[in-house]
Amino acid sequence: MTAGQPAAVAARREQSRAVWDAMAAGWEAHRNAIWDDSRSVGEWLIERLDPRPGDTVLELAAGVGDTGLAAARLVGNEGCVLITDFAPEMVAAARRRAAELGIANAEFRVLDAEGMDLDAGSFDGVICRWGYMLMVDPAAAFAETRRVLRPGGRLAFSVWGTPADNPWASLVGPILVAKGLMAPPDPTAPGIFALADANRLRALVTAVGFADPEIEEVATHRTFADFDAYWRYLTELAGAITPVLRALSPEDRADVRDAVRTGSAPYAAGQGYDFPGRCLNAVTW
């Protein structure tokens, strides 16, 4: 625990780290589908970051690293991308992904975005897809991001929009709460929808010295071949909700599964499902 860090905050951070370490295998196994479903988000981030040959780019909360690895192709052999995550298993998965894609100009490090062991002014750009809203102290993470950027360097990042805009993620939580299987979520806690308010997002970014960000809503889709595929996603890849589902008794799990199947009916597409999604993508400097 960092000196002066409240025990509850440290515990929340370690719990999140454990969750995402556990998610790494599923994210790695489904890496191609995740990238395909989020391509509009990743390509927007890369375009707005606008990495140039020779640039040094930092990716935060990288997961399996697809967005940073896309940037690595643009900075060329003269440049470098440092791909980081605070979950060691995610970093290991990103390293394997780079080898799979034949990308040699990327480095990898376990790194907590809220307190980076990196020199000030050492990066031309920072990219973060779906990370800041999960951090215990996003204000500290934005401040650290600002610190490690060179003057004029860009930050491009994405967070998820509102629960109503992302039923693929918001469907199961209310079911668990209604059945008394999960406590109602703390609206002040980190989570997938914690930065869905563009005004709050803007305030956090500008408070640490960034320019007023350009924020754009970007549509996504989460597609699944059938209900079993969607259920596997929820029980293998869905962040904080996955441990809750895994811990249920067989009877409760079957009950929740039936309720989720009923609730997902509006998104049926043939034999499968096509869930809409929406992110808030931002760029600033």
CA distances from 16 to 51, 131, 163, 177, 271 (A): 30, 12, 20, 20, 34
- Distance, in Å, from the CA atom of 225 to the CA atom of 230, rounded to the nearest integer, reads 8
Query: What residue ranges do the domains of the chain occupy?
Result: 7-162+187-221+278-284
DSSP lists the bridge partners of residue 218 as 279
First to last CA, the chain: 32
Q: Are strands 272-284 and 149-160 parallel, antiparallel or unpaired?
A: antiparallel
pTM metric for this prediction = 0.94
- Distance, in Å, from the CA atom of 168 to the CA atom of 208, rounded to the nearest integer, reads 33
Q: What angle do CA 123, 147, 17 make, to 5 degrees?
A: 90
User: Which residues touch 36 (CB under 8 Å, ≥6 apart)?
Assistant: none
The burial class, CB within 10 Å (0-12 / 13-18 / 19+), for 1 is exposed
Residue 2 has pLDDT above 90, yes or no: no
Residue 71 has pLDDT above 50, yes or no: yes
pLDDT in tens, 136-151: 999 999 999 999 999 9
Residue 130 has pLDDT above 90, yes or no: yes
Residue 18's pLDDT is what?
92
SS3 25: helix
231: left (phi over 0), alpha (psi -120 to 50) or beta: alpha
pLDDT in tens, 255-282: 999 999 999 999 999 999 999 999 999 9
224: Cα separation from own chain's centroid: 19
DSSP state, residue 117: -
DSSP state, residue 183: P
The burial class, CB within 10 Å (0-12 / 13-18 / 19+), for 279 is buried
Average confidence score pLDDT of the chain:
95
Report, in this order, helix, strand and coil percent for the chain, each rounded to 5. 50, 20, 30
The burial class, CB within 10 Å (0-12 / 13-18 / 19+), for 281 is buried
Q: Are 85 and 27 in contact (CB under 8 A)?
A: no
Residue 285 has pLDDT above 50, yes or no: yes
12: confidence class by pLDDT, cuts 50, 70, 90: confident
If one counts every other C-beta atom within 10 angstroms of the C-beta of residue 183, the result is 9
Give me the percent of the chain exceeding a pLDDT of 90.
Answer: 92
User: Which residues touch 260 (CB under 8 Å, ≥6 apart)?
Assistant: 171, 172, 175, 230, 231, 234
- Distance, in Å, from the CA atom of 109 to the CA atom of 90, rounded to the nearest integer, reads 10
pLDDT in tens, 82-122: 999 999 999 999 999 999 999 999 999 999 999 999 999 99
Length of the chain: 285
1: confidence class by pLDDT, cuts 50, 70, 90: very low
5: confidence class by pLDDT, cuts 50, 70, 90: low
3: confidence class by pLDDT, cuts 50, 70, 90: very low
Q: Are strands 80-85 and 106-110 parallel, antiparallel or unpaired?
A: parallel
pLDDT in tens, 222-259: 999 999 999 999 999 999 999 999 999 999 999 999 99
CATH of segment(s) 7-162+187-221+278-284: 3.40.50.150
- Distance, in Å, from the CA atom of 27 to the CA atom of 232, rounded to the nearest integer, reads 12
188: confidence class by pLDDT, cuts 50, 70, 90: confident
- Distance, in Å, from the CA atom of 52 to the CA atom of 25, rounded to the nearest integer, reads 32
